[in-house]
Structure 1
Amino acid sequence: MYSFFGVLISAGANNSNTDHVNKMWKKNAYPLYRATMGRIRFQSLLRFIRFDDYTTRPARVANDKAALISDTWKMLNANLAALYRPTEHLTIDEQLYPFRGRTKFTQYMPSKPAKYGLQVFWLCDASNAYPLKGILYTGKQGNTREVNQAERVVKDLVSDYKGSCRNITTDRFFTTLPLVETLLSWKLTIVGTLKKK
């Protein structure tokens, strides 16, 4: 399993994480993959690995669209925050991970290169882009449309840094005057673009 995860991490570091598995194991590809394990073994592990308890799945899916990966996502966020002390400059933005699989929360964004994928809001250290916390967007809850979603996302992401006198940089999607006032009351500053309205 360590070898399997090592191949996955190496694929991400070498920008071959979007390549087809057959291409990764060709003779002219990165040799670490072939040296670590066979292609068929890797594909078997990739096909059958699960991080979800199927016995409790129906109850969890009723309340959480991302129930299949929620525990793993929480563990990732806990480890990201525990293993790094950020500088005083943080940044918030969204990212669309290319994904065309079947989920209830796959997003379509025509302005992005991939168009379809999973949308994640990230809080990162501005000096080196280290991710500190991520919120997986799973769509609207129920039939009601969320008001001030961007403001809620920023508050959720920076809540662990209240009173730290850090600066948060955002783009125009996230920046609002009520958010600025809230962050100032939390002893945080913000740099961002404001819309005319």
Structure 2
Amino acid sequence: MSVIRLPRSRMYWSNACRVNQVADVMPRDRWEEIKHYIHFNDNTATNNSDRLFKIRRLIDSLLPKFQALPQDQMLSIDEQMVPFKGRSVLKQYIPKKPYKWGYKIFVLCDTKGLVHSFDIYAGTSDPPPGSPDIGASGNIVLKLAQVIEGSVNHLLYFDNWFSSLDLFVALANRGIPALGTVRENRLRGCSFSKDKELKKKGRGTFEEQQAVVDRVEIRAVKWFDNRGVNVASTFASAQPVSLIERWDRKQRRKVSVECPSIITLYNKFMGGVDALDALIAYYRIHIRSKKFYHRFFFHFVDMVVVNGWLLYRRDCDNLNVPRKKQKDLLAFKASIAQSLCMQGKDLSAKKRGRPSSDVEREFQKKQRRGPTKAIPTKDVRADAVGHWPQIDSLRQCCKFPKCTGHTSFKCAKCDVHLCLNKNKNCFCAFHEC
């Protein structure tokens, strides 16, 4: 339903707009019954103190899986909006977001958008056990940063809503170097020139200050581009300075502007959550519901699919698979849906009509000579999902046409024996034709 979008879910079963990929899976009334009764916790055991009680078990099952994923060096924390305009005490309004109304989730991810942890905003942000209370925004960073190993030298990025000197000190005590934009009123002990003074000196002007808080050295830089930007870090500084291009309205051409290293690092590695939002927005599940936990559930399905696709791309790159042969997000999501629809189907059932491939025609000839085990259809053989070779205790005839060999290897999904050795590779040939 996220790939083929229709205004109402009932239209997938209607005569005018019937979509076979949806309507053939289950009846319409069955779909509406499942959506109506789906729950993630026992309503009789209500917990009035937990606003996320209805999806608490879903959150508790997802977080360990996200936190167990291997982490890159560069990590970022930012807020994410789950679009929702219904009535809910959890609903937030952020005017600068693409989706202004919805639920707010704080996400820890890498530069490509791979999620490692998240925290749903429910009105309060208490500090994690054993950590100082440094305010609501800082407590969120400390809570999400619990999954970061300080000894691995991960670098953490966040924006000015989270940043404070106390947060930089708390992260440094955990062994986590950090970098982020900072509001000027939170930089106690560091004084910078006003924007008007820096504007007179020209674009690219910057100032650098150093502060030591609880024996932690923090460097702060103010850089003037179109306006002043304050950035602080426990591992980076203004040097080395690089040149970037900016459009000059008066000269009507691009000019070179000096840019400190701390600004370059922030712009390069801070956009992880924005990348995640863009990937989810391509094929978001749009199913209307008045129940707030349905919107969370559909969002987590989208998040898990994007995470799976990013891990798939990472594995393909490690195996040197060319990008042209890798599935894009649309093909990856469609293959997941197709594989889930095949669960529980009887692959041995006979298909009406003429065989659609040479393999099936040859197999029909073999059946006339005597009883043989059925083989799956071409759609199942070539879906490239779950076809793994495994060793059987019995040796049987190879089911690939015109092969007279005997083998103990069989496909775990198709449940047929196929030759797999240095002289023959009927396993690959059977799943490609």
Q: TM-score, normalised by structure 1?
A: 0.77
Return the alpha-carbon distance in structure 1 between the equivalents of residues 12 and 173 of structure 2.
Answer: 51
| 1:91 to partner: Cα distance | 0.9
Return the alpha-carbon distance in structure 1 between the equivalents of residues 30 and 143 of structure 2.
Answer: 40
Return the alpha-carbon distance in structure 1 between the equivalents of residues 22 and 113 of structure 2.
Answer: 27
Aligned-partner residue type, residue 138 of structure 2: E
Aligned-partner residue type, residue 32 of structure 1: Q
Contact residue 108 and residue 115 of structure 2 kept, 8 A: yes
1:107 aligns with 2:95: no
1:152 aligns with 2:139: yes
Return the alpha-carbon distance in structure 1 between the equivalents of residues 9 and 72 of structure 2.
Answer: 37
Contact residue 171 and residue 178 of structure 2 kept, 8 A: yes
- The residue that corresponds to 1:42 in the other structure is 31
| 1:153 to partner: Cα distance | 0.3
DSSP 3-state at the match of 2:108: strand
- The residue that corresponds to 1:66 in the other structure is 52
| 1:112 to partner: Cα distance | 2.5
**Over residues 5-50 of structure 1, what are the superposed CA-to-partner deviations in whole Å (9 max), with x where a residue is unaligned?**
xx6xxx3xx495x964245667779763334334432222112101
- The residue that corresponds to 2:366 in the other structure is none
Return the alpha-carbon distance in structure 2 between the equivalents of residues 135 and 116 of structure 1.
Answer: 18
Return the alpha-carbon distance in structure 1 between the equivalents of residues 182 and 17 of structure 2.
Answer: 49
Count residues with an aligned counterpart.
Answer: 176
**Over residues 140-166 of structure 1, what are the superposed CA-to-partner deviations in whole Å (9 max), with x where a residue is unaligned?**
48xxxx972110000000112142310
Contact residue 40 and residue 55 of structure 2 kept, 8 A: yes
Residue 32 to residue 15, structure 1, CA distance change in 2 (3 Å):
closer
| 1:67 to partner: Cα distance | 1.1
Residue 19 to residue 147, structure 1, CA distance change in 2 (3 Å):
farther
Runs of 5+ unmatched residues, structure 2: 126-132, 186-433
- The residue that corresponds to 1:192 in the other structure is 180
Return the alpha-carbon distance in structure 2 between the equivalents of residues 54 and 91 of structure 1.
Answer: 36
- The residue that corresponds to 2:71 in the other structure is 86
DSSP 3-state at the match of 1:55: helix
- The residue that corresponds to 2:160 in the other structure is 172
Q: TM-score, normalised by structure 2?
A: 0.37
Aligned-partner residue type, residue 186 of structure 1: R
Runs of 5+ unmatched residues, structure 1: 1-6
| 1:130 to partner: Cα distance | 1.1
Return the alpha-carbon distance in structure 1 between the equivalents of residues 18 and 144 of structure 2.
Answer: 38
Residue 149 to residue 44, structure 1, CA distance change in 2 (3 Å):
same
RMSD: 2.7
Aligned-partner residue type, residue 42 of structure 1: W
Residue 40 to residue 147, structure 1, CA distance change in 2 (3 Å):
farther
DSSP 3-state at the match of 1:153: helix
Give aligned-pair identity as a percent.
25
Contact residue 67 and residue 147 of structure 2 kept, 8 A: no
Return the alpha-carbon distance in structure 1 between the equivalents of residues 4 and 96 of structure 2.
Answer: 22
**Would you identify which runs of 4 or more consecutive aligned residues in structure 1 move more than 6 Å?**
26-30
DSSP 3-state at the match of 1:192: strand
- The residue that corresponds to 1:3 in the other structure is none
Contact residue 134 and residue 166 of structure 2 kept, 8 A: no
- The residue that corresponds to 1:4 in the other structure is none
DSSP 3-state at the match of 1:97: strand
